[in-house]
Amino acid sequence: MTTQQQAYPPPYQYASNTQVPPNLYNDGSHPQPIPGQAWIQPMQAYPAPEQQPLDHPGGSSYNETHAEEGGGGGGFTTAERFSDKNIRRTFIKKVYIVLTIQLMFTFAIVCVFSFVDEVKQWVQENSAFYFASYAVFLIVFLSLACIDSLRRKHPLNIIMLGVLTLSLSYMAGTIASYYDTISVIVCVGITMGVCLGVTLFCVQTKFDFTKYIGVAFVLTLALLLFGFIAIFTYSDIVNAVIGLVCALVLVLWLAIDTQLILGGKKHELNAEEYIYAAMTLYIDIVYIFLIILAICGKG
């Protein structure tokens, strides 16, 4: 018996419990446990493979955790989390570099249309180009916002973003040409201060603006309706009130879009959506400038 135990050592490990091992040999015998210790089978010492976590610490698989967070979609307002902080920082840096180039170009056009009298007179006499640029802006904006392949396909996304920037810059410059030059400069400064303040607030606050995307969308639709009605009222008071509310709604959109880019809230943008992110921030800032110009500017 002793020779058989030495030739065929049992595949068991010692444990501190009191389980009795099953029959090991064909003759029905089993090895004697060492005093103070008992045998336990490997399947009892370690969980079965199907009971082990797959690839995510904490007892659940990555897919389950990912699904709980709301990820898995290809949309541009998902709750899909960045797996690495370096990815998020790179994404934010890319977005704000593109945005800076857009804003520098736009406000350069605004300055030219405001300071150069010949250009100012020409754009005011050729209003057809304004409506053409507005049509181009709407087409490109809706295409980039609704079609994933366009805003993710390089270099087509860069080209379309450039066309959108050019068209909106022409529109902003044309509108600014009807206002006093000093008013335009003051409104540019106010816009920069408002946008910087909103951005800094979104960086440090724990308040989640991304939860109120639906509210901002409803307010935007209501403003469009009241704005259409205000066209036929010709009331300065009504126009001023609508302009003020519109400015507040645009600031809310700027806060929402900023937190979508920064991440860490209920909703955040996918790391591949830097074109969409730059486009939304750019439109928010330019429209805030135009609203402030309409409220505070002198013709």
3-class secondary structure for 136-153?
Answer: HHHHHHHHHHHCHHHHHC
Same domain, 23 and 168: no
Whether 72 is covered by a domain: the verdict is no
Count the alpha carbons within 13 Å of 31 in the hemisphere toward its beta carbon. 20
pLDDT at 38 over 70: no
Same domain? 202 vs 287: yes
Domain extent, residue 239, equals 85-296
Question: Per-residue pLDDT for 25 more than 60?
Answer: no
Q: What is the model's pLDDT at position 192? A: 93
> 2 in helix, strand or coil?
helix
Round the CA-based radius of gyration of the chain to a whole number and report it: 32
The residue-averaged pLDDT of 207-215 equals 89
266 & 163 share domain: yes
Mean pLDDT score, 242-253 = 89
CA distance 175 to 179: 8
pLDDT of residue 283: 95
Question: In the 8-state DSSP scheme, what is residue 284?
Answer: H
pLDDT at position 28: 54
Q: At what angle do helices 181-204 and 85-115 cross, to 10 degrees?
A: 170
104 plus 12 within the same structural domain: no
pLDDT tens per residue across span 160-205: 999 999 999 999 999 999 998 899 999 999 999 999 999 999 988 8
Please check the confidence at residue 71 and state whether its pLDDT lies above 50: no
Has residue 112 got a pLDDT over 70?
yes
Same domain flag for 124 and 199: yes
- Residues with Cβ within 8 Å of 245's Cβ and at least 6 positions away in sequence, in order, are 223
Indicate the number of domains in the chain: 2
Q: Which of 256, 260, 254, 258 is nearest to 286 (CA)?
A: 254
Please give the pLDDT value at position 132: 95
Do 29 and 162 lie in one domain? The reply is no
Q: Are residues 96 and 13 in the same domain?
A: no
Among 293, 282, 297, 288, smallest CA distance to 140 is for 282
The average pLDDT across 6-11 equals 50
Which has the higher per-residue pLDDT, 184 or 28?
Answer: 184
Q: Judge whether 57 lies within some domain.
A: no
Q: How do residues 259-299 score in pLDDT, each as one tens digit?
A: 999 887 787 888 788 899 999 999 999 999 999 998 887 76
Indicate if 46 and 90 belong to the same structural domain: no
Regarding whether 162 and 121 lie in a shared domain, the answer is yes
Residue 54 reports pLDDT greater than 50: no
pLDDT at 158 exceeding the cut of 90: yes
Q: Are residues 217 and 271 in the same domain?
A: yes
Are 48 and 151 in the same domain?
Answer: no
pLDDT value of position 256: 92
User: Please, which pLDDT band fits residue 141 given cuts at 50, 70 and 90?
Assistant: very high
The answer to the question of residue 92 being in a domain is yes
The reply to whether 64 falls in a domain is no
Provide, rounded to the nearest whole percent, the portion of the chain with pLDDT above 70. 71
3-state secondary structure of 15: strand
pLDDT at res. 56: 42
* Measured CA angle at 220 (ends 184, 75), to 5 deg: 105
Find the mean pLDDT for residues 127-146: 93
Long-range contacts of 187-191 (CB under 8 A, 24+ apart): 187/289, 187/292, 187/293, 187/296, 187/297, 188/107, 188/110, 188/289, 190/292, 190/296, 191/285, 191/288, 191/289, 191/292
Does a structural domain hold residue 151?
A: yes
Residue 69 lies in a domain: no
Question: Does the residue 273 lie in any domain?
Answer: yes
| Choice between 65 and 163, residue whose per-residue pLDDT is larger | 163
Measured CA to CA, the distance from residue 113 to residue 172 in angstroms comes to 9
Task: Compute the distance between CA of residue 89 and CA of residue 248 in angstroms, rounded to an integer.
Answer: 29
Specify the 3-state DSSP secondary structure of 14: strand
* Token code pair at residue 107: 């406000």
80 in a structural domain: no
For residue 85, which amino acid is it? K
What is the CB neighbour count within 10 angstroms for residue 170?
21
Within this chain, do residues 243 and 140 fall inside the same structural domain, yes or no? yes
Give me the residues paired with residue 39 across strands.
14
